[in-house]
Structure 1
Amino acid sequence: MKKSLILLAAAFAMISCKEETTSTSGLKTAYIDTIELMNEYEELKDWESKGNIKKAEMERELTEEGRQLELDAASFQNEAKSKGMQWAELKYQELQKRQRDLGIKQESMYVQLQKEFGVQRDTIIIQMKDYIKEYAKKEGYDYVYGTGDAASILYGKEEYDITDVILKELNDRYKNGATKTEGTLEAKEEDPVAAE
């Protein structure tokens, strides 16, 4: 009796496995290396380059103001002896205020930079995701997985990797002006969407 139950269970398991295989074997799947996509997408690289340039300009301006403050502080130490205690106290308060103002300006610049380029980056990522959805529907994919930092797939045969195809098409669209996001910045600032 035990043998027949074991044989029946084994037969049932084989039938179940066979049915699952046939029901899912008709699915068309692919995956995209999301790290490569993010690193090689021209529009995203252009925006990050613009952000880095603007950040460098801001840092130069802050560095120059910081140097001037240091020079004024050094000059203050020399002049304090000759101009008296009252002058020294006023000048010291002025230098402290300038130092606080410089810190506030630095923080404000970085917040502005993050807001401007962070929103734009999120907009580009949303457009990339939308394009991948369109591409998957057009090509008849049932699933498109993403690999990368937050991988949702641990292995995939290279023949299922469509990263290069998506990357080429996205870059072609960008070069042809189909995905310029400069005009969408204001609209996205009103309703920012966090991208993954």
Structure 2
Amino acid sequence: MKNIIYVVLAMLIFASCEKPNKIAFVNNGTLINDYQEKKDVEAKFQLKEEAFRKRADSISQAFQEEAQKGQTEAQRLARSNRKKAEALMTGLQQKQQQLQQQMQVEQQQLTQSFQSEIDSVIVNVKNFVHDYGKTNGYNYILGTSDAAATVMYGAEQSDLTQTILDALNADYKKE
């Protein structure tokens, strides 16, 4: 019985000597959305998207003019050579389909390129938070957001969002 008391007492002493875990949290949404690199990526792709839309609009407008001329020509030809009129209309339809497919492919490429860069930004943020936690002696840095509230409550002094965001943006400016 005495041995059990000594063992329990020894365990309590060891447990009380153990350093407590250093835990903090960040708001993932704020961290990502307010990170300057993400803002720069979004701005760059917004310009690319606008250029794409302008180009698509001009191609569409040029095709509409060509299609109107083709329809007028097809109507004229329909009176004398119906097969030529049908061939002309078929050619216009094929060209329209090709243009639509080309625009869809370009739009998909633009979207994939954007997503790839955003994914890279997110990886950079995760790596930065990992390094920050390791460097500053944290056992855990939890992430939360409005969509997935993994931290239901956290004391304000445990919220590292702004601290890490400032350090992250300062590190990005150095590059």
Structure 1 and Structure 2 fold alike (TM over 0.5)? yes
Q: Is 1:30 paired with 2:28?
A: no
What letter corresponds to residue 123 of structure 1 in structure 2?
A: S
Using the TM superposition, give the Cα deviation of residue 83 of structure 1 relative to its aligned residue in structure 2, in angstroms: 2.4
Q: Find the counterpart in structure 1 of residue 70 from structure 2.
A: 76
Q: Find the counterpart in structure 2 of residue 13 from structure 1.
A: none
- Which SS does the other structure have where 1:53 is aligned? helix
Distance 1:171 1:125 in 2: 13
Q: Find the counterpart in structure 2 of residue 109 from structure 1.
A: 106
Runs (5+) with no aligned partner, structure 2: 1-15
Is the Cα–Cα contact under 8 Å of residues 33 and 163 in structure 1 kept in the other structure? yes
Q: Find the counterpart in structure 1 of residue 148 from structure 2.
A: 150
Distance 1:54 1:87 in 2: 41
Distance 1:110 1:25 in 2: 54
Using the TM superposition, give the Cα deviation of residue 44 of structure 1 relative to its aligned residue in structure 2, in angstroms: 1.1
Q: Is 1:176 paired with 2:174?
A: yes
Alignment size in residue pairs: 158
What letter corresponds to residue 161 of structure 2 in structure 1?
A: T
Q: Show structure 1 runs of 4+ deviating over 3 A.
A: 22-25
What letter corresponds to residue 114 of structure 2 in structure 1?
A: F
Using the TM superposition, give the Cα deviation of residue 111 of structure 1 relative to its aligned residue in structure 2, in angstroms: 2.2
Distance 1:156 1:140 in 2: 18
What letter corresponds to residue 153 of structure 2 in structure 1?
A: Y
With over 3 angstroms needed to count, the CA separation of the structure-2 counterparts of 1:54 and 1:24, relative to structure 1, is farther
The structure with higher relative contact order (CA 8 Å, sep 6+) is 2
Distance 1:81 1:101 in 2: 23
Distance 1:136 1:33 in 2: 15
Runs (5+) with no aligned partner, structure 1: 1-21, 178-196
- Which SS does the other structure have where 1:131 is aligned? helix
- Which SS does the other structure have where 1:151 is aligned? coil
Q: Is 1:137 paired with 2:134?
A: yes
With over 3 angstroms needed to count, the CA separation of the structure-2 counterparts of 1:35 and 1:24, relative to structure 1, is farther
Structure showing greater Rg: 2
Distance 1:76 1:166 in 2: 61
Distance 2:111 2:96 in 1: 23
Distance 1:160 1:60 in 2: 48
Distance 2:122 2:131 in 1: 14
